[in-house]
Structure 1
């Protein structure tokens, strides 16, 4: 496992794409925040500017976008690594515990930037 990238400050926003089928009662299922394998982590996009949303939704326009802070993830034991991809230069991996309690707490902390099939809200 790599070291936490501390140039990503705790207050910086991280965006997570949410599939429309992974929502219950208007909120993302906690499995959306579950690091199923500790070596892979959660795929997130660092909010840099409006392009972050475009990279995240490219080909997935009907998906939702959940927002957490880097600090939210670190409080649950995650480290955040920059992992740029050709189609998303702001991509990061949040690597952390495989724990159901962590995913439930992250679900409680999240807020919507965009609900599936709806317009983008203000940050």
Structure 2
């Protein structure tokens, strides 16, 4: 795991044995984070949210997965390892973190949608 200000947490918060998509998802996220690092965007901790943060069920990622969304990620902005702000990010950091987070989300969404047909599972 990388320990920098963003944490891309993957689906299945409290599973002990992970379903087949876990490895696929792990490879996808690793390739995205490598791309982002190569382009001077912050590095990440990559892994299950239960491993990186804490185990919890009933989160938004569980809900999204229940709708049939294949890739579900949680982004934790402002790592304590890097900034030690907790949930109270100073105003002077908000623009920088927001720009980086948007760039990362854009790259990830472009890579996921490339070659995939996007279908709405929400009716």
- Whether TM-score is above 0.5 comes out as no
Which has a greater percent of helix?
Answer: 2
Q: Which has the larger radius of gyration?
A: 2
Normalized against structure 1, the TM-score is what? Answer: 0.26
Which has a greater percent of strand?
Answer: 1
